[in-house]
Structures are given as structure tokens and as C-alpha cells.
A and B are shown apart, each in its own frame.
Chain A
């Protein structure tokens, strides 16, 4: 029998992708974020190969002033100790982006499971679980992070964090431990909103007939939550996750700026800005380059997040 060719239906993702490409700002954001991601991953190595400067290379000469303005050898100039700022910005970007991404992944895993479970089970369980969220929410997150970092930071770092840091190797274990601690601290607070977002989605989905149909075929509760409900809530979750990355990065920059986040010899955009601001009137490039890079990245991530929201949920699109 002759069969007509099957028309491949446009999936939700392909539709969303098409809509995203129509949004110029979102495409701009996507491109900048992609370039930035590639740059921070391979950039430091290239610079080291090209100029011999790693992010923590301090030139041996004994000049009194080591901070030079941008030049061909140092496109972004050098800092107080003579370190190449471009290398440090890229290295700092690596940590900043990593903090953003890892904390968001943590918030995704914890927030989605927690919110979906609370939303689906409902009743008293839901009430209890969400009140816990409310309580953690009520404590200023900066306070939680500061307390965590100062209690467990420095010499008090728990052994297991040190061993993780040790196993990653490279640089100082203490500095890495501090960064890992920062991941945990930021991840701990960033899942709260995610849990609320997901719970709201699940609440509106769980009374749909297909969930009843799944229950009627004997599917177990965890399978209903994770196979049937969560994928349906994925749109808003992805959007919120893209918007979580910049907000976590901003928190990290803020903490590092205050001096309780990433510590030397490691750099993040926040700590670079903190270093730069001391010399703003004399060596403005120390602040401008890290600052602009960070601002550009955060803008781009926000544009991308907004674009994704419009693409994944066409009903809320403004015309």
C-alpha cells in the first residue's frame, strides 16, 4: 500500500527555537553568552600560550609601578602586582560563570524535586514543605551566606570540602575550598524560588485529566511526578533557570566585592572589581574592564532569559 510521506510535526522546542531567533535582543544575548563561555574556557590557556601570562603570573621585575594601561601585550592592562588583567578577567569569568551555573543546577535539582513533590502531594505535606521554604526565605540570604562562609570558611572548612578541593587540585586548596563553599551557600538559597515556581506549575497541572489517566493505569507517585508532571512544567523552569544564573552571579560578585567570596589568588569579576575600585582615579582600567565584561554578560543572560520566556510561552508575549 502506498503510504503518504509522514509530515514531521513541529515539536514545541523547534517552535520555541524559531521564535527565539526572531527576537534580536535574545539572539544578541545568546551570541554574547556563547562567546563568553568559550572565551572563559579556552581563553586563559591561549593567553598563557601567546604572552606567557597566566592569571596569577607576577612579573619578576622590580618596577615600583606595575599597573600599566592597555597595550598590545596586555589588552586590558595589568593590575597592581603586574598581572595581566585580560587573563584575570577570563579566569574570573570562569569562576563567576561556574558559580552561576552550578548554583543554578543545584537549585534546579533541589527546587524542582522539592516543589514538584510538595505540589503533587498537596494537603498537609505541601503546607509543611512550603512553610519551611517560607522560613528560609524570610532570613536574608546574604546573612545565610555570610554566616555559612565565615563559620565554615578558612581554617574551619569541613574536611570533605577540603578533600573535594584537593582532588580538583591546582592552586591553593584553601582558595578552592572557599569557592566550593560559595557554591553550596548560593545553591542553598537559590532553590527556594524555583521550588515555588515549580509547585505553582504542578498545582495547575495535577488536576489535568492525563494525570488522572496515569493514576488509573497504576503509575506510581514518583513516576507521575517526574515522568508526567515535571516535563510539562519545564518551560517556566528553564526560563527561571536562565534568569537565576545572572542573579546568582550578581550575588557572587557582591560577596566577592565585600571580600567574603572568592579570594586571591583566584579571581572573580566581583573580586576584580573590588581590587579595581581602590585605584579608580589612577588606574581606571582595573575597574572598567572587569566591570564592563560582567555587565555585558549579565545583560546578555537577562536578554536570553526574557527571550526564552517569550519563546516558550507565546501567550504572554507582548505585541
Chain B
């Protein structure tokens, strides 16, 4: 056993590479974080920044080949998932770690009844017989707020709307009362109203069941209301890591600042064009020697292009991958005090820190 201290998940220096014809793609390159029991971690970043690969690595779902977890440890409740045999991993998957996928339209098997798919999980992990599994499935559907669950359970996925299907997915994921729930962009494919409902549901269930949650998203508004801490990823690397409130109030990385500036802000609508970070995310197979964000960064200097940036600790819980992390951090604090202590970004509904 490796020491726990209430930590459900400790990921240390995880590297997942993909072998492609174009060279080695370092999809996740040295990511480190911890997750305590009952805590919610948000992982944000653009498409291709390695958010999903991180979580697939945790579940050991990386397709091998071409992918491979090259190094690092993934300690889940005292056990390094990387050292487990695939059979042992299978016993954890779905039972102690569960996952919700991005697109509810495609993540349910179109040929199987909802009941069959829900029952499969508990028959597999909890040793339920058909009757127990069926009752449990009905109960789970009721828990996630599907009306008339008793009659709906024998329907096929195409008879459910997108939001309903995502609820079914959540019911499936939570069937065995997992300790860790990974939600991979659970609301991206849903419209805004349903999005709010689903997030509310996850939040509510999390509070009731005490599940730890990793929420992957590229929507900063979503993480703001849901998470305790946030990791900002870019090009397979952690760019910034901080408690949610702190990150929104005092970002210490130009990339995070850029992201926050790109969020539409109806309260301060001025008619000006919405800010966007110039350029495109880099090709992770051919990264420049310096900071991967340097070509798009407004304050990049020669050192950024030449040298890989250090992971700077700006305060106890707050780290940022930037040559100028301390300066950016100081600027953020100063900007805040100029605006009479209210961070502009906090107008996105923020959870006050506990």
C-alpha cells in the first residue's frame, strides 16, 4: 500500500505517448495531481490538449498500440493502477471508477435495451441476479430523475432524448456507487438548459454519494460552478493548477488569462469583438524546444522560445508553467485590486471557497 491521507487518486508524472507515422505524439507529458475523497477536479483545455487521454490513462483504456503509458504512477486508493493486470483493472472499472462520455447519442449500445445495459454493470460487479439487477436499474433510473422509470427501462436508446440518455449514462456510471467518477465533457453535446440540469444532477449525486469527480470540459463556465480545483492543460502539459476560486481570481499563466478573457461576458457587453487567443494549438508531435504556448503568447520573449519554462509555485496551492508566472500572478492581483477587489471573472457564477 502506498500512503493515502484521504487521497482517492494520486497521479504522478503521467506520460502517455502515441506512436504515429508522424513521430511520437506526447499526448500527455508529465501530468501530476491529487484528488481527495469527495473532491471535484476540473480539467480544462482546448481540443487535443490531452484532457481525455489523461483520464483514459487513469482507466487504462488507452488503445495499445499505438498508445502507451510511458511512465508515471496512477495510485487509486493505495494501488497503482499501472501495475495491475488487465483483469484486475476490469474489476475496478465500472465498479470503483466510472466514466461518463461526451456524446450520449453514441455511448449507449443502440441494439440493447436500456435495462440490459444497466443490468450488465451490476450483474458483473455486484453479483446481482436478473431480478435484483432489474430492480436496482429501475432505482438508478429514478435516482437520475427519469420519470416513469418502470415503463421506460425496457426501451431502446433511440426512444430517449439526448438529455435522457445522458441521465441513463449517469445512472449506469453510478450503479455500483463508484468512488471516482470521470465525466468526460458530459454536457458538450447537450443544449444549455439540459446542460444545466445534468450538471445539477452530477453535483447533487456527488454530494449525496460522496463520490470524487474529475470533470473534463472546455467550458470554463461549467468548471467554475462545479469544481474545487482546476488543472489547465495545454499540449499535453499542465499549464496551471490551482483551487477554482484562486484560478479565476488570480491566474498566473498567460494562457489561462487568455482563456478567461475569451469567455463571453454579458454583464460587460460593450459591443467590442470577443477576445480570442490567436493561432492554433501546436502539433504535439513536433513541439518547439521552448514553451509550447510561446508562438501564441502575447508576452512571449526570447527566453520563452528558447527554453522550456519552469513549473513555478506562486503560492502553496497554485502552480503555473511559465517563465513569468510570478509576474503574471502579481499583475492579476493588481488588476483585481484596481477593480475594487472584484475579479472580473468572478461574475461567472463562482463557488465561494469552502
Residues of A within 8 A of B (CB): 3, 6, 9, 11, 123, 208-210, 212-220, 223, 227-228, 231-232, 234
Q: Shortest CB–CB separation between residue B149 and chain A, in angstroms?
A: 12
Q: When A210-B106, A213-B99 are in contact, do A3 and B94 touch as well, CB less than 8 Å?
A: no
B273 within 8 Å of A (CB atoms): no
Could you say which residues of chain B place their CB within 8 Å of the CB of A3? Answer: 148, 151
Contact A231:B148 (CB < 8 A) given known A9-B156, A11-B156, A215-B93: no
Which of these, A11, A123, A217, contacts B65 with CB under 8 Å? Answer: A123
How many angstroms from the CA of A220 to the CA of B87 in the assembled complex?
8
B84-95 interface mask toward A, CB cutoff 8 Å, 1 = contact, 0 = none? 000000111111
Known: A217-B172, A218-B90. 10 other contacts (CB 8 A): A210-B108, A210-B109, A212-B101, A213-B101, A215-B61, A217-B98, A217-B121, A218-B125, A232-B109, A232-B110
Inter-chain contact A218/B95, CB cutoff 8 Å: yes
- 1/0 per residue, CB under 8 A from A, across B244-273: the answer is 000000000000000000000000000000
Assess whether B103 is in contact with A209, with CB atoms less than 8 Å apart: yes
Which 8 residue pairs spanning A and B have beta carbons closest together? A217-B94, A218-B94, A218-B93, A216-B99, A209-B106, A209-B107, A231-B111, A213-B107
Residue of B whose beta carbon sits closest to that of A230? B111
Q: Which of B139-196 contact A (CB under 8 A)?
A: 148, 151-152, 155-156, 158-159, 169, 172-173
- Whether A216 lies near B94 (C-beta < 8 A) is yes
- B109-124: which residues lie under 8 A (CB-CB) from chain A? 109-112, 120-121, 124
Q: Tell me, rounded to whole Å, the shortest Cβ–Cβ distance linking B9 to chain A.
A: 16
Contact, CB under 8 Å: B169 / A212: no
Q: How far is the CB of B67 from chain A (nearest CB, A)?
A: 12
Chain A residues with CB below 8 A from B223, complex form: none
Q: Does B59 contact A (CB under 8 A)?
A: yes
Rounded to whole angstroms, the CA-CA distance of A160 and B107 in the bound complex is: 48
Given the complex of chains A and B, what is the CA–CA distance between A216 and B103 in angstroms?
Answer: 15
- The CA of A123 and the CA of B66, in the complex, are separated in Å by 10
A208 touching B148 in the complex, CB below 8 Å, given contacts A218-B93, A218-B95: no
Write out the residue numbers on chain B whose beta carbons fall within 8 Å of the beta carbon of A218. Answer: 90-95, 121, 124-125
Q: What are 6 inter-chain pairs, A to B, with CB distance below 8 A? A: A209-B103, A209-B107, A210-B108, A215-B61, A218-B121, A219-B124
- Interface residue SS majority, chain A: helix
C-alpha gap A49/B90 in the complex (Å)? 63
Taking each of A9, A123, A214, A220, which has the highest tally of chain B beta carbons within 10 Å of its own beta carbon?
A214
**Residues in B neighbouring A210, C-beta threshold 8 A:** 106-110
Tell whether, in the assembled complex, residue A209 and residue B120 are in contact, meaning their CB atoms are under 8 Å apart.
Answer: no
| Minimum distance in angstroms from B258 CB to a CB of chain A | 30
A212 x B107 contact (CB < 8 A)? yes
Question: CB distance B65 to A216 under 8 Å?
Answer: no
The answer to whether B61 touches A228, judged by C-beta atoms less than 8 angstroms apart, is no
Q: Which residue of B lies closest to A228 (CB)?
A: B109
Interchain nearest-CB distance for A178 vs B (Å)? 41
Q: Which residues of A contact B94 (CB under 8 A)?
A: 216-219
- With a CB–CB cut-off of 8 A, which chain B residues contact A216? 59, 61, 93-94, 98-99, 101
Docked complex: B57-100 residues within 8 A CB-CB of A:
59, 61, 65, 90-95, 98-99
Nearest CB of B to A208, in Å:
6
Query: B169: which of A9, A213, A227 is its contact (CB, 8 Å)?
Result: A213
CA distance A6 to B160 in the complex (A): 13
A207 (CB) vs chain B CBs: closest residue: B63
Q: Is the CB of B61 within 8 A of A212?
A: yes
> Which A residues touch B102, using CB under 8 A?
209
Chain A residues with Cβ below 8 Å from B59 are 216
Q: How far is the CB of B20 from chain A (nearest CB, A)?
A: 15
How far, in whole Å, are A214 and B93 apart by their CA atoms in the complex? 10
Which residues on B sit within 8 Å (CB–CB) of A228? 109, 112
Report the bound CA distance from A274 to B138 in whole Å: 64
Contacts of B148 in A (CB 8 A): 3, 6
Chain A residue at smallest Cβ distance from B109: A210
Instruction: Compute how far the CA of A212 lies from the CA of B184 in the bound complex, rounded to whole angstroms.
Output: 12
**Cβ distance B242 to chain A, nearest Cβ, rounded Å:** 29
CA distance A11 to B111 in the complex (A): 10
Closest to A206 in B: B63
Please indicate the chain A residues that have their CB under 8 angstroms from the CB of B111 in the complex: 231-232, 234
Q: Which residues of A contact B109 (CB under 8 A)?
A: 210, 214, 228, 232
Q: Is B107 within 8 A of A217, CB to CB?
A: no
Give the residues from 17 to 75 in chain B that come closer than 8 angstroms, CB to CB, to chain A.
Answer: 59, 61, 65
Q: Which residues of A contact B101 (CB under 8 A)?
A: 209, 212-213, 216
Expressed in whole angstroms, the Cα–Cα distance for A21 and B125 within the complex equals: 44
Q: Which residues of A contact B158 (CB under 8 A)?
A: 9
Shortest B100–chain A CB gap in Å is 9
- Complex partner residue of B108 from A6, A9, A11, A213, CB under 8 angstroms: A213
- A217 CA to B101 CA, complexed, in Å: 12
Rounded to whole Å, the gap between the CB of B232 and the closest CB of chain A is 25
Taken together as a complex, chains A and B put the C-alpha atoms of A279 and B173 apart, in Å, by 73
B95 to chain A, nearest CB (A): 6
> Does the CB pair A208–B106 fall under 8 Å?
yes
Give bound CA distance, A9 to B152, whole Å. 11
Most A Cβ at <10 Å: residue of B93, B95, B155: B93
Residues of B contacting A232 in the complex (Cβ-Cβ under 8 angstroms): 109-111
Q: How far is the CB of B219 from chain A (nearest CB, A)?
A: 19
**Bound-complex Cα distance A180 to B156 (A):** 42
Measured between beta carbons, the chain A residues less than 8 angstroms from B156 are: 9, 11
Q: How far is the CA of A220 from the CA of B98 in the complex (A)?
A: 15
Instruction: Report yes or no: A220 in contact with B106, Cβ–Cβ below 8 A.
Output: no
Flag if A9 contacts B110 (CB, 8 Å): no
Shortest beta-carbon distance from B93 to chain A in Å: 4
Closest CB-CB distance, A86 to chain B, in whole Å? 45
Cβ contacts under 8 Å, B121 to chain A = 217-218
